[in-house]
């Protein structure tokens, strides 16, 4: 049976940061700590789960990311090809049965994220488990960058991207994918908020 020890955590920090004026988003501070380091620490704090390994995908300032004490890999595809390029790099480098992806710009993601994704993946015998969160209108929407996937999907993703595919949901739709809703009252409404601008990041710091 799959266990938490079979999971590698991957922080996606390879974006262009275009809505932050092109700065390296993953190195911007959140409450005094670089976003990526904060995300790695939050992965270490996950309830009832100890990941076997953690990695970062980044395309700039690699030495700065390496100072966080984990393996750092640039996208294996040319250019800034989006989150799926990070998925691909992670699957290529992953040595465990499962890969968990989280973005660097959602610093308050739930501490039970890993356990709930793993439990649902196993219970449903699925290939991919994706978090879903409640929107302001009450609907529950997939958060596809918060994703637990089997590494056996590497070949599928290679073919999908070689054919020009770039959208996560279009790829996950080809596989047995389950949504895991984080929609109960005890979930922090900021849990899946992603800070796309410095203003949003500062506002998130100040929110309670």
CA distance 160 to 170: 9
In the chain, count H helices and then E strands: 7, 9
DSSP one-letter code for 29: E
Identify the pLDDT of residue 4.
59
Position 181 confidence tier, pLDDT thresholds 50, 70, 90: very high
pLDDT for 118-170, tens place per residue?
Answer: 999 999 999 999 999 988 787 899 999 999 999 999 999 999 999 999 999 99
Rounded to two decimals, what is the model's pTM?
0.94
User: Mean per-residue pLDDT for 64-91?
Assistant: 91
Q: Which domains does the chain have, with CATH numbers?
A: 4-206 (3.90.550.10)
Contact 57, 75 (CB under 8 A): yes
List all residues 6 or more positions away from 125 whose beta carbon is below 8 Å from its beta carbon. Answer: 176
List all residues 6 or more positions away from 50 whose beta carbon is below 8 Å from its beta carbon. Answer: 4, 5
DSSP one-letter code for 18: G
């Amino acid at each position: 049976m799959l266990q938490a020890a079979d999971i590698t955590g991957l922080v996606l920090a390879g974006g262009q940061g275009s809505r932050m004026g092109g700065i390296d988003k993953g190195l911007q501070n959140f409450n005094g700590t670089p976003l990526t380091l904060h995300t790695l620490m939050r992965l270490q704090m996950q309830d009832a789960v100890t990941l076997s390994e953690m990695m970062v995908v980044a395309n700039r300032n690699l030495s700065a990311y390496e100072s966080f004490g984990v393996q750092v890999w640039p996208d294996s595809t040319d250019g800034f090809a989006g989150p799926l390029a990070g998925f691909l790099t992670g699957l290529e480098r992953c040595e465990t049965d499962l890969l968990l992806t989280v973005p660097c710009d959602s610093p308050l993601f739930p501490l039970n994220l890993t356990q709930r994704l793993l439990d649902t993946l196993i219970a449903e015998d699925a290939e991919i488990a994706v978090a879903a969160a409640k929107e302001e209108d009450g609907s529950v929407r997939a958060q596809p960058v918060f994703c637990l996937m089997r590494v056996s999907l590497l070949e599928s993703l290679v073919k999908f991207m070689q054919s020009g595919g770039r959208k996560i949901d279009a790829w996950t739709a080809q596989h047995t994918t389950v949504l895991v809703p984080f929609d109960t009252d005890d979930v922090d409404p900021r849990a899946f908020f992603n800070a796309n601008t410095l203003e949003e990041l500062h506002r998130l710091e100040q929110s309670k």
